[in-house]
A and B are shown apart, each in its own frame.
Chain A
Amino acid sequence: GAGVSQSPRYKVAKRGQDVALRCDPISGHVSLFWYQQALGQGPEFLTYFQNEAQLDKSGLPSDRFFAERPEGSVSTLKIQRTQQEDSAVYLCASSLAGTGYSNQPQHFGDGTRLSIL
């Protein structure tokens, strides 16, 4: 079956521009996560949705970062006024069930590589 799909795979933007990254989770998956992965490091949590509700956004590095999942399926991560330190791979993951459900591994997309010039 189809996995988690992210687009675009690569994005180059000039410093100060706004960007939008899209995530299509596995159909029916309740939970959706965004992670940021710097070169040579492990992914770091940004934000979590259960259906359309954003339950945790503690990992968002600044108020320039905004995420939404209005209909509980597709999610968009938006970064405003991009800075060079925003350059990273942005990963989206989804899992079948939400809080309180066990033994549901997170399935990752292949990420969007963002480069800020």
Chain B
Amino acid sequence: LAKTTQPISMDSYEGQEVNITCSHNNIATNDYITWYQQFPSQGPRFIIQGYKTKVTNEVASLFIPADRKSSTLSLPRVSLSDTAVYYCLVGEDNAGNMLTFGGGTRLMVKP
């Protein structure tokens, strides 16, 4: 399984755009990149998934360069409620596959 590396923590302020970059140098051809969000005392929540280029949904955007060795989760105009841990995962896009979580990035949004 491809290993991911992401910053341990980040600070931001309300209204700013936050970009969290994840490195996955050993990503395989069949691997997708998926991001989950986790609030304290809750289970992880799926945010976004992509394979290449750019994916956007109502919550976030995911930018993936051509070599796919990294990806960037972009959260537009964050609010205090976006304070959470964000996990970058790499693996086959297969409902029967277990998810391999790293340590995640702890995002703190300040007023």
Contact = CB atoms under 8 A, between A and B. Distances in A.
Interface of A: 4, 30-31, 33, 35, 41-45, 48, 50, 55-56, 59, 91, 93, 95-111, 113
Interface residues of B, number: 21
Interface of B: 34, 41-46, 49, 87, 93-104
Contacts of A59: 98
A100 B44 contact: no
Contacts of B102: 42
Nearest to B95: A104
Main secondary structure on A side of the interface with B: loop
Contacts, number: 70
B98 A48 contact: yes
Contact of A42 (B34, B41, B93, B104): B104
Given A48-B98, A102-B93, A105-B34, A41 B43 contact: no
Contacts of A30: 95
